[in-house]
Amino acid sequence: MQVSTLFQQGKPTFSFEFFPPKSEAASETLFSAIQELTPLMPAYVSITYGAGGSTRDLTHDLVLRLRNETRLTVVSHLTCVNTTKDEVGQILERYHRSGIENIMALRGDPPAGQKEFQSTADGFAYAAALVAYIRREYPQMCIGVAGYPEGHPESPNRLKEMDYLKAKVDAGADYICTQLFFDNRDFYDFRERCVLAGINVPIVAGIMPITSLKSVQRMADLARGARYPARLLKALSRAGTDEDVERVGTHWATQQVLDLLDREVDGVHFYTLNRSTTTLSIYKTLCLTC
C-alpha cells in the first residue's frame, strides 16, 4: 500500500522507524520489538540508512524481509550518499519487483570523517534531484521527504530552507516527515511556514522519547542540534536512574503526541530506536488502539 493513500482516510497516521541490525542477535531483538508493535497496527514502518549510507545492503535486506514475512507497509530510506544514478536505479528496480511502493528520499549525512556532503560522480547532489529521478523513472512510487522544524543544521537562512523544501515537493514528494523535536511550538511554526511557502502535502511529526541520559547527547548529535526545552531538562535533572529518565521522557513524548492530536496533526512518526516499551506506553496512555 502507498503511504499517500493512508492520509486520504481523514485521520492521523501512526508509524514507526527502525534501523537495520548489524548482527544476528540484534536482528532477533529488532524482530521481537516489531512483533510487539505490530498489534498496534501502524500505518507503516520505515527503515533507515546508517550515517553515510553505511548500512545500505542491510537496509535493503531488512526491507525485503519485512515485506516478505509481515503484512506491514514498509518505507525504505534512500540517500544520495556514495551512490550513483545507476546504483539508485538498480535499488529502485529491485524494490519495484519486490512490491515495495514507498521511498523516503534523503540527501543524507556526510560519511564519518567528512565535514561537508560531497555528491558522488554521476550521483545526486540534492534530495530534490533524487525525488525528481524517482518520480520520472518510477512514477508509481510514493515518495516522502524530510522536514526540519528547528531548521536544517546546514542552513542559516530559514527562508531559503523553505524554498529547498518546496523544491522537493514540486519535484514529486507526496508527504513530509519531520526530524525529531521536543517543543511542539517549533513544529507548529514549521507547519505555518509550509503553508506560506505553498506546500500543501501532509506533514508527519517525528517524535523520539528520551530513554536515558546518554541518549540525550546522542539525540542531539543525531539531530545535529536538537533543542531541549528548559522544563524538560529540569525534569531530567530530577531523575536519579535511567528508569526515571525513561519515565520522564515517555511522559514528555506522550504530552507532545496528545497536543499534536489536539492540533490535528496529519501523522505521528515514532523513532523507536528498535525498542517497543516507550511506544507501547504512549499508545496505552492515549488509548490510540482503543
- Which of residues 163 and 56 earns the better pLDDT score? 163
Residues 6+ apart with CB under 8 A from 250: 209, 278, 281, 282
Q: What is the pLDDT of residue 7?
A: 95
Alpha carbons 262 and 5: distance in angstroms, whole number: 22
Q: Considering the entire predicted model, what is its pTM?
A: 0.92
What pLDDT is stored for residue 104 in this prediction? Answer: 96
Convert 56-121 into a string of H (helix), E (strand) and C (coil): HHHHHHHHHHHHHHCCCCEEEEEECCCCEHHHHHHHHHHHHHHCCCEEEEECCCCCCCCCCCCCCC
pLDDT of 55 higher than 70:
no
One-letter amino acid at 8 equals Q
Q: Where are the domains of the chain?
A: 3-281
- Spell out where the chain has E strands: 13-18, 44-47, 74-79, 102-106, 142-147, 175-180, 203-207, 267-271
Cβ atoms of 158 and 147 closer than 8 Å = no
More confident residue, 80 or 14: 14
Q: Is the pLDDT of residue 53 over 90?
A: no
| pLDDT of the residue at 222 | 60
Please determine, for residue 282, whether its predicted confidence score (pLDDT) is greater than 60: yes
Section 240-251 average pLDDT? 93
Grid coordinates representing 136?
A: 520520472
Distances (CA, A) of 234 to 30, 181, 237, 250: 32, 17, 5, 15
Residue 103 · residue 60 · CB < 8 Å: no
Measured CA to CA, the distance from residue 178 to residue 164 in angstroms comes to 14
At residue 118 the predicted structure's pLDDT band, cuts being 50, 70 and 90, is low
- Catalytic residue status for 17: yes
CATH number of the structural domain 3-281: 3.20.20.220
The type of residue at 47 is: I
Host H or E run for residue 154: none
Least confident of 9-13, 106-110, 253-257, 286-290: 106-110
The Cα–Cα gap between 245 and 260 comes to 22
| Model pLDDT, residue 115 | 61
**Whole-number average pLDDT of the chain:** 89
Average pLDDT over residues 212-232: 78
pLDDT at residue number 235: 95
**Marked catalytic residue, from 17, 101, 150, 161:** 17
Instruction: Pull the grid cell for residue 4.
Output: 499517500
Q: Does residue 108 have a pLDDT over 90?
A: no
Percent of the chain with pLDDT over 70: 91
Rg, Å, the chain Cα set: 18
**Is the separation of the CB atoms in 279 and 272 below 8 Å?**
yes
Write the pLDDT tens digit of every residue in 163-198.
Answer: 999 999 999 999 999 999 999 999 999 999 999 999
Whole-angstrom distance, CA of residue 213 vs CA of residue 210: 8
Question: Partners of 270 in the beta sheet?
Answer: 16, 207
